[in-house]
Amino acid sequence: MLCVKQHQAKIVAVRAMAQDTWAVKVHAPELASAITPGQFFMIRPATGSDPLLGRPFALYDIVRDSAGQPSGVEFGFVKVGKMTTLMSQWSEGEEVSIWGPLGNGFPVPECRHLICVAGGIGQTPFLGVIREALGLESYGISPRSITTRPQQVSLCYGVRSARYLAGLEEFTIPGLDLQIATDDGTTGHHGYVTQLLQAKLAQNSEGVHVYCCGPEPMMKAVAEICKAAAVPCWLSLETPMACGFGACFSCVTKVVEPDGSWDYRRTCVEGPVFRAEQLVL
């Protein structure tokens, strides 16, 4: 188990990804060398007390230097409040405080067909997942080995409207089956992303694993669809957090115990990724 480490880092770049959606690159070589897909980190300005607390963000991808070594991390976010508005205005060279890697991340995908289901900004954890599954990238101090690499990898990505689609260029990856759903029908499937998942499972659910991240109602629907099809499913929760390393117990979620009762688990430590059947949604 890696110790959580705090890093003083600098902003490398800030870019717009879609409407109200931004991506930030941070120079943090030690963090970049250790983090794995699905894990997250906390970040805040290096000085000042407003905002006082950091915010959690999932790894979008690592950044490599000219020698191919991990030099930083990139993450995406939607501008919704004071902290994210401030972050969208960060510029190159600004100092930030960042700590991680945090959480457990997604398991190594060992299945016939890996389907990632994303809603809203929930696609960001899956760039690393997909690149690792396709053998295009490795993550962690000791790169994770995949004994049985998926024969097929799909991303079902749903948003309200085409203007909110973020990162389509990065997800244009050889070997990836990318399918889009929009609520208003401005591009891709006119409807919910869960309908794309249902269609895929109706074709063939044997050997399928599903990873999901996005709004809680969508994840609940995905969990129910997978349960009905007897397909293993993992959910990455987007729970608000204060500390990120388990001290404050502000991010607890309900989980089912073996005897059928329920208890609380800290999303930042025992999660953010849980088996769907563990959760009380």
How far is 140 from 197, CA to CA, in rounded Å? 30
The whole domain housing 63 covers 5-102
How far is 34 from 163, CA to CA, in rounded Å? 33
Rounded percentage of the chain residues whose pLDDT exceeds 70: 99
Name the residue type at position 71: S
Q: Is the domain of 145 the same as that of 94?
A: no
In angstroms, the Cα distances linking 96 to 9, 57, 79 are 5, 14, 18
In a domain, 261, yes or no: no
pLDDT band, residue 86 (cuts 50/70/90): very high
Which contacts (CB < 8 Å, 24+ apart) does range 237-241 have?
A: 237/267, 237/271, 237/272, 237/273, 237/274, 237/279, 238/122, 238/213, 238/214, 238/272, 239/267, 239/268, 239/271, 239/272, 241/42, 241/55, 241/56, 241/267, 241/268
Q: Is the domain of 214 the same as that of 134?
A: yes
Q: Is the domain of 90 the same as that of 118?
A: no
How far is 54 from 41, CA to CA, in rounded Å? 9
Higher pLDDT, 212 or 147: 212
Is the pLDDT confidence value at 1 over 60? no
Higher pLDDT, 154 or 261: 154
Is the pLDDT confidence value at 178 over 70? yes
Q: Is the domain of 79 the same as that of 168?
A: no
Of 45, 68, 102, the position where a domain reaches its end is 102
CATH classification at residue 95: 2.40.30.10
In a domain, 71, yes or no: yes
Higher pLDDT, 110 or 213: 213
Of 60, 78, 102, the position where a domain reaches its end is 102
Of 102, 125, 159, the position where a domain reaches its end is 102
In a domain, 211, yes or no: yes
In a domain, 222, yes or no: yes
Q: Is the domain of 217 the same as that of 146?
A: yes
How far is 60 from 167, CA to CA, in rounded Å? 10
How far is 132 from 127, CA to CA, in rounded Å? 9
Q: Average pLDDT in the 72-82 region?
A: 93
Per residue in 34-45, pLDDT (tens digit) is: 999 999 999 999
**Residue 219 and residue 243 in contact, taking contact as beta carbons nearer than 8 Å:** no
Is the pLDDT confidence value at 144 over 90? no
Q: Is the domain of 119 the same as that of 227?
A: yes
Q: What are phi and psi of 173, to 5 degrees?
A: -120, 130
What pLDDT does 3 receive?
54
Is the pLDDT confidence value at 48 over 80? no
Q: What is the DSSP letter of 122?
A: T
In a domain, 247, yes or no: no
pLDDT band, residue 2 (cuts 50/70/90): very low
What pLDDT does 173 receive?
95
Is the pLDDT confidence value at 242 over 90? no
How many domains does the chain fold into? Answer: 2
Nearest to 77 by CA among 50, 42, 53: 42
How far is 24 from 30, CA to CA, in rounded Å? 17
What pLDDT does 4 receive?
63
In a domain, 267, yes or no: no
What pLDDT does 53 receive?
82
What pLDDT does 266 receive?
92
Q: Average pLDDT in the 192-217 region?
A: 97
What pLDDT does 133 receive?
95
Q: Write the CB contacts of 149 (distance below 8 Å, at least 6 apart in sequence).
A: 109, 110, 133, 134, 135
Q: Average pLDDT in the 56-62 region?
A: 95
Please give the mean pLDDT across all residues of the chain.
93
Q: Is the domain of 86 the same as that of 127?
A: no
In a domain, 269, yes or no: no
